[in-house]
Structure 1
Amino acid sequence: MQSNFDKMLRRLIFLALILPVACIEPYKLDVPEGEQLLMVEATITSGPGPHAVTLTRTATYGSIFEALIRPVTQATVAVRDESGATTILTESSEARGSYFTSASFQAEIGKSYTLLIETIDGKTYASRPEKVESVPALENVGIRTVVIDQAGGENPRSGIQVIAEVNDPGDQNNFYYWRNGPATYVLETRPDLYTPPTSPANPDRIPQPKPCCFTCYRTEISSNRSMFVETDDDFNGLTTHIPVAFIEDDGRRFVRTFRIDVKQLGISQEAYRFLRLVKQQAEISGSVFDPPPATIRGNMTSLDNPEEVVLGYFIAAGETTKRIYVNNSDLTFHQNNALIPDDCLTVQGTSVSPPADWKP
């Protein structure tokens, strides 16, 4: 089939042949680099730390499309509560631009917190105070297998949808936000099938089986492709079941046993509105009926220039967590096992020993 590019190219050649030949002086177009906007991703909760604040700067456009999102390093980042007590965060030596509280830091229910930032060039930023809201305990969590058919006859995607039972209190209006904690699963590989890359020492790629290791425990950060937020407008004071996560089956995670911590956060109404708008923009389908994208302002402000646009939101929330184990037999549809012909310890985040709290 003739591509659109080929058709366009032929039209251009045709025009070049029929138009009079003339000397055209090239016009040099200087495209200025877009404004560098500070982006803040920050959440502290009443759960155990460490809690993270990530700072980046992003350009809206530019003549050089390299490193458009840059970490903001060597900043001074602090969280201050309503009584004036201040906690200084420490920048990670591995994840530049990410700043962490100590593991012992936990926000207190009912208190308000403010995020303070000073960049290395002396610019200062602050959030509006965020109150830590209470959140009902996350008592029951279940799963169901989800299969997503793909166009063109490709193999369907699949995974597990996590369903939380929410016992909503009737004496207040609650706003919920669900996040995944770290996930750990049994990873199986085939080191007996290992074949090294072609090299002068092994030009014919002769297999060199390894005696170890076939089984490891892998820990990863399991992020959601979608954002799960909800208000209790339709179930205030009732018990309801809500999808709060989707974890894709990549042919490795559910071969044996998979474990994940599901976090239920109680957030402010303002934080809920912000996350809801972010979710709506992320799910725009690209049709003519979609609303035009817009910059979503959060609760961060430049203290030097109130007109400066600062992206992101500082969230302070109550937290409750539920840990679940998923066995291979719990799924009603399985992806084909993804073969790794190597020692499982070569995969990032693995160990031959289970975590000390591994209790399936």
Structure 2
Amino acid sequence: MRSSTLQALLGCLLSLLPLACVDPEDLVLRGTVDIIVVDGTVTNLAEPQVILLNYSRADRLTGRFGTLPITKARVEVVMDSLVVTPAHETTDGRYQLPADFKGQIGHAYQLRLTLSDGTHYESTQQVMPPAARIEKIHAQFSLKSLSPPVLGYYTSGHDVFIELQDPADQRNYYRWDWVDYEPQYWCRTCHQGFYSIFNPIEVSSDRYISGPEMYEECYFPTNIDPGARVYGVTWDYVCRTQCWEMLHSYSVALFDDQYTNGGLIPNFKVAAIPFYQHGPCLASVRQSSLTPDAYRYFKLFADQTQNTGGLADTPPTAPVGNVHNVANPKEVVVGYFTASGVFSKPIYIDRKDYQGVPLGYDPINGYPQGQGSELFYALNRRDPHPEPSPDPNPPPNSPLVVNFFIDNTPRPPTALCAPLDQRTPFKPEGWPN
């Protein structure tokens, strides 16, 4: 499963590498970084099994940090040194194993990848440990839930606690992450463009008809003059079906059972879900069993990304992972490939115990108006701006809105619940009927 947490934190960590001394007025990176970043975990669940490949790179002209997806690589996962399963590239830098692939407890997995220039990389073997069960789970609202604060000031949310019976017959290493499912009403935003279900065909300036092919995307006219309908505007489109926004954890929670081996681990905090909106949400908590080497890597990684000082401090070094260049072992490769037994448990949070205001509250203008506007404001820091509906007979002092599709294609359309790595039209497990 894609690890948005690791990708986001790796980006933050790598962006610090060239910053030994920082002018607080100029946070432009003073060097170039060109490092391969690998992020992949094979699990025992029936879920998308994804390996992410990127270059960590600073622009050679401006020095500003960014990432560049690694495309056209050959990516394989090898089980027990015998069974080879290829992954296919679904989007730039994202390689997914076949839909029916599922890891098996006790088996060894290795990542092998070859770049388009022929450079070959391999990971160490990772034996998938068994997954322990989450016995109980509950959530509690707190005005001081989020640390560090969201947007630098907001701290309200629900703390999620679990109870775990630690297996006594082995040393166990745990990692927790989560996905927050928030009901989403707005599914697409188009800046200087418009959403279209069928392929738009421009027949004259700012006039269109719908073509025969499915499009389901924002269409951006190639030549936009100041008089064009979409010039300088952003339009938002409502979801066609039920939809949930998938918001991933942004920190790393780890635990070593060295001092509690075989005991009950009660009331252990594993998640902090921001108070985005008054409506309910569902948090799917994932408990992963790590190999000892993977735990040490993630612990070092967490210490360096979560326990460092300000930007003016000497930055940490990026921890080198378990993937290496076969021909050049001295090449630095960041990130980790591992195999984890995973146990997932959902918790529905009705948010009826809230205090104060949600993140979707505008401190200047108050609560945004309209369905789904609180979550939209929380994520975008502005109110939604829907495409105006055509109205040939507007009320007095209201502008005339003419359908710019001359074949009378209904406007505005609704949008698909997509992209599927950020939203889902399928009701998450544990959501009440």
TM class by shorter-chain length?
0.7 to 0.9
1:105 positional shift: 1.1
Aligned residue among 156, 159, 184 for 2:157: 159
Superposed CA deviations along residues 305-324 of structure 1, whole A, max 9, x for unmatched, are 11111111001000111111
**Helix, strand or coil: the match of 2:331?**
coil
| Correspondence for 1:231 | 256
The one-letter amino acid of 2:181's match is T
Aligned residue among 15, 39, 52 for 1:41: 39
Aligned residue among 100, 107, 113 for 1:104: 100
Take 1:352 and 1:43, find their aligned partners in 2: how far apart are those partners? 21
| Correspondence for 2:341 | 318
| Correspondence for 1:54 | 52
The one-letter amino acid of 2:116's match is I
| Correspondence for 1:296 | 319
- TM-score normalised by length of structure 2: 0.62
| Correspondence for 1:268 | 291
What is the number of residues matched between the two proteins?
Answer: 310
1:293 positional shift: 0.9
| Correspondence for 1:221 | 246
Deviates more, 1:323-332 or 1:263-272: 323-332
Any residues of structure 2 matched to 1:74-113 within 5 Å, and which? Answer: 74-92=72-90, 95-113=91-109
Going from structure 1 to structure 2, the CA distance change for 1:137 and 1:68 (only over 3 Å counts) comes to same
1:111 positional shift: 0.6
**Equivalent pair of 1:225/1:246 in contact (CA under 8 Å):** no
Query: Any stretches of 5+ residues in structure 2 without a counterpart?
Result: 1-24, 187-225, 230-235, 362-366, 374-383, 387-412
**Helix, strand or coil: the match of 1:304?**
coil
Going from structure 1 to structure 2, the CA distance change for 1:130 and 1:54 (only over 3 Å counts) comes to same
Deviates more, 1:240-249 or 1:120-129: 240-249
Take 2:93 and 2:123, find their aligned partners in 1: how far apart are those partners? 18
Going from structure 1 to structure 2, the CA distance change for 1:352 and 1:216 (only over 3 Å counts) comes to farther
Going from structure 1 to structure 2, the CA distance change for 1:174 and 1:346 (only over 3 Å counts) comes to same
| Correspondence for 1:20 | none
Take 2:181 and 2:94, find their aligned partners in 1: how far apart are those partners? 23
**Equivalent pair of 2:76/2:85 in contact (CA under 8 Å):** yes
Does structure 1 residue 286 correspond to structure 2 residue 309? Answer: yes
Superposed CA deviations along residues 101-135 of structure 1, whole A, max 9, x for unmatched, are 12221111011100000000000000000010012
C-alpha RMSD of the superposition? 3.8
**Helix, strand or coil: the match of 2:250?**
coil
Does structure 1 residue 120 correspond to structure 2 residue 143? Answer: no
Going from structure 1 to structure 2, the CA distance change for 1:56 and 1:223 (only over 3 Å counts) comes to same
Aligned residue among 151, 172, 175 for 1:174: 172
Q: Choose 1 or 2 for highest CA Rg.
A: 1
| Correspondence for 2:394 | none
| Correspondence for 1:185 | 182
**Equivalent pair of 1:32/1:62 in contact (CA under 8 Å):** no
Take 2:424 and 2:308, find their aligned partners in 1: how far apart are those partners? 43
Take 1:145 and 1:237, find their aligned partners in 2: how far apart are those partners? 30
Take 1:90 and 1:299, find their aligned partners in 2: how far apart are those partners? 22
1:47 positional shift: 1.0
The one-letter amino acid of 1:244's match is V
The one-letter amino acid of 2:182's match is Y
Any residues of structure 2 matched to 1:344-359 within 5 Å, and which? Answer: 349=418, 355=427, 359=431
Superposed CA deviations along residues 85-105 of structure 1, whole A, max 9, x for unmatched, are 01111111xx31010112221
**Equivalent pair of 1:56/1:97 in contact (CA under 8 Å):** yes
**Helix, strand or coil: the match of 1:184?**
strand
Going from structure 1 to structure 2, the CA distance change for 1:275 and 1:213 (only over 3 Å counts) comes to closer
Going from structure 1 to structure 2, the CA distance change for 1:215 and 1:122 (only over 3 Å counts) comes to closer
Aligned residue among 256, 276, 290 for 1:250: 276
| Correspondence for 2:409 | none
1:60 positional shift: 6.1
Take 1:230 and 1:345, find their aligned partners in 2: how far apart are those partners? 45
**Equivalent pair of 1:222/1:247 in contact (CA under 8 Å):** no
1:68 positional shift: 3.4
Take 1:333 and 1:35, find their aligned partners in 2: how far apart are those partners? 44
| Correspondence for 1:65 | 63
**Helix, strand or coil: the match of 2:102?**
coil
1:299 positional shift: 0.6
**Helix, strand or coil: the match of 1:328?**
coil
1:338 positional shift: 4.7
Take 1:249 and 1:215, find their aligned partners in 2: how far apart are those partners? 25
Deviates more, 1:132-141 or 1:343-352: 343-352
**Equivalent pair of 1:260/1:323 in contact (CA under 8 Å):** yes
1:290 positional shift: 7.1
1:329 positional shift: 1.1
Take 1:286 and 1:230, find their aligned partners in 2: how far apart are those partners? 23
Take 1:106 and 1:226, find their aligned partners in 2: how far apart are those partners? 26
**Helix, strand or coil: the match of 1:121?**
coil
Take 1:334 and 1:216, find their aligned partners in 2: how far apart are those partners? 28
The one-letter amino acid of 2:71's match is T
Take 1:101 and 1:170, find their aligned partners in 2: how far apart are those partners? 34
**Equivalent pair of 2:167/2:261 in contact (CA under 8 Å):** yes
Going from structure 1 to structure 2, the CA distance change for 1:83 and 1:33 (only over 3 Å counts) comes to same
The one-letter amino acid of 1:268's match is T
1:333 positional shift: 4.7
Any residues of structure 2 matched to 1:115-154 within 5 Å, and which? Answer: 115-148=111-144
